[in-house]
Copies of this chain bind each other. A is one copy, B any other.
Amino acid sequence: MKDLILRVNTLTEALPYIKEFYGKTLVIKYGGAAQTLESLKHLFAKDIVLLRYVGMRPVVVHGGGPEITRIMEKMGKTSEFIGGKRVTDDETMDIVEMVLSGKINKEIVALINHHGGQAVGLSGTDGTMIEAKKLHEDMGLVGEVQAINPQVIRTLDEAGFIPVIAPVGIGEDSKKYNINADTSAAAIAVALKADKFIFLTDTPGILRDPEDADSLISTIHIDEIDGLIKDGVVGGGMIPKLIAAREAVIAGVSKVHIIDGRLPHALLLELFTDAGIGTEVVA
């Protein structure tokens, strides 16, 4: 009985957080370990379902890098990378969309539904949601986001469904484009006027000293970002995330969070505790 009482006490402690985010839109960039470790995948799906049931409106945008490489290898294709981006010929693009929209996306959808949600998977092609254009002649079908048409997301969200989005862009020429998942998620957060935009990553957040987990920077103001990049404090894949975060904040998203998806229930830890976890980016 003591146990049960502890349990319901915890529930009521969640009340202020539930009130705070009631009816709010959260865009979650899903990736890293949270997407690949079996146990974390289930916890993530449960968290999403819980968020929806307590009145929030989560929208999931996922990536899929390693799986794409794996399938390409299986099909005898090798990937060339320029500046961290995969040069994308027509056949590669076919594989990218197939893996993102047909495998990873549906797997996330199935997991959320397994835990009691009503998820629906979409790619940027559906309802011409993510309009894209070619980034550079030499990169093939690598694209950048031109515009977001959020109607299909809104339609599903308002009918009680949880949208799960594969970041594939569609050009005016009806060609598919391979676009960056972080940037796409940021553009979607902006188009939906999201209240929060959360990156699930494989780091504890932005560390002043990458070797020292205790050097976590809790809050970054957007005008500090250029300095952090110049000083080399952030690098690699974190740079596009921070730039996407800045764009989202400038365009009206109140807060962006970069959190550690390797923690069980990372989303709930961020949303249901005062301290939060990871690094938040604010105006």
Which residues of A are in contact with B by a Cβ distance under 8 Å?
A: 4-16, 18-19, 22, 43, 46-47, 49-50, 53-55, 71, 74-76, 94, 97-103, 105-106, 109-111, 113-116, 118-123, 125-128, 151-152, 155-156, 159, 161, 168, 170, 174, 176, 263-265, 268-269, 272-273, 275
18 contacts between A and B (CB under 8 A): A5-B264, A8-B265, A10-B11, A11-B14, A12-B43, A15-B49, A53-B55, A71-B75, A75-B75, A98-B102, A98-B103, A101-B101, A101-B102, A110-B170, A113-B127, A114-B174, A119-B126, A156-B156
Chain B residues, CB < 8 A from A12: 43, 46-47, 50, 265, 268
Which of B8, B119, B120 meets A269, CB within 8 Å?
A: B8
Interfacial chain B residues near A109, Cβ < 8 Å: 125-126
Which of A18, A126, A156 has most chain B Cβ within 10 Å?
A126
| Chain B contacts for A113, CB-based, 8 A | 125, 127-128, 170, 174
Complex: chain B residue closest to A159, CB-CB: B155
> Quick one: closest B residue to A74, CB to CB?
B75
Q: Closest B-chain residue to A53, C-beta based?
A: B18
> Helix, strand, loop or mixed for chain A's interface?
helix
Tell me the complex Cα distance, A76–B101, Å: 22
**Smallest Cβ-Cβ distance to A50: which chain B residue:** B15
